[in-house]
Amino acid sequence: MRTIQAKDIIDAVATMCVRANTELPDDVRAKFEQAMANEDSASAKEVLRQLLENADLAMKTKLPLCQDTGLAVFFVEIGEDLTVEGGNVKDAINKGVRKGYGEGYLRKSACDPLTRKNTGDNTPAIIHFDIVPGDKLKIAYMAKGGGAENMSRVTMLAPAQGWEGIKKFVIERIAEAGPNPCPPTIVGIGVGGTFDHSARIAKKALLRRLDDTHPDPKIAELEKELEEALNKLGIGPMGLGGKTTVLSVKIALEPCHIASLPLAVNVQCHSQRHEEVEL
């Protein structure tokens, strides 16, 4: 049995929150540069140039990539042979969020859904836990802004609708979203499970690198097919037109009930703010 200190979790989470909100991931930067080279539209090229400049300024000044520093979402894997001393994992993560968002001067967006009163420290965080073999603690953090999250949807298709129904729904959703999620976006798609589980795996799919390839060649082809279809919408960077509406499409599939076809579309903004750590 291995033991780690709650304080180490707090400090790691605080660092993750600040870093994710101020440092553009290298795979996203590479996608911006690739998109600039492929774009024909002058306005699209200019928007992408400004996004890169914004990333450089954020890195230099340690100011956020975007004023909406999001709700704090975590996917946590806890090893069966791990114990935490000086607190528990959930409390430590929330304390880390309070510390990171406070010391990093990040906007606190968590509020009561009815009174709209701000909680003041961006907690409670949204935390998804998994128990796994081993003695490690893996924490993945994602800053989920309102503009992108509001464009996300879950639906229950009829099984007979199959892939064509899935594709149709995703294309219509991104078309309806238009400029609202600050494109170019990353689109996570969860197929299967239950109503709630499809949304969970759609969001978790957003943690994949933009330059990776799905291990199942058939799913990889479907991701490519959808990415090409979405970019043909012509919405373009910030909705000003162009060939780059999405940077990547990530699909997660899990078994579902014989009478159901759950489908979730989770949209992430162009900054793709996330960090992972293993303790």
Q: What is the pLDDT of residues 48-103, one digit of tens each?
A: 999 999 999 999 999 999 999 999 999 999 999 999 999 999 999 999 999 999 99
- The 10s digit of each residue's pLDDT in 177-227 is 999 999 999 999 999 999 999 999 999 999 999 999 999 999 999 999 999
**pLDDT for the residue 145:** 96
Query: Rounded to two decimals, what is the model's pTM?
Result: 0.94
Mean pLDDT of the chain: 97
Residue 136: burial class (beta carbons within 10 Å; 0-12, 13-18, 19+)? middle
CA distance 28 to 70: 18
Determine how many CB atoms are found less than 10 A away from the CB of residue 131.
10
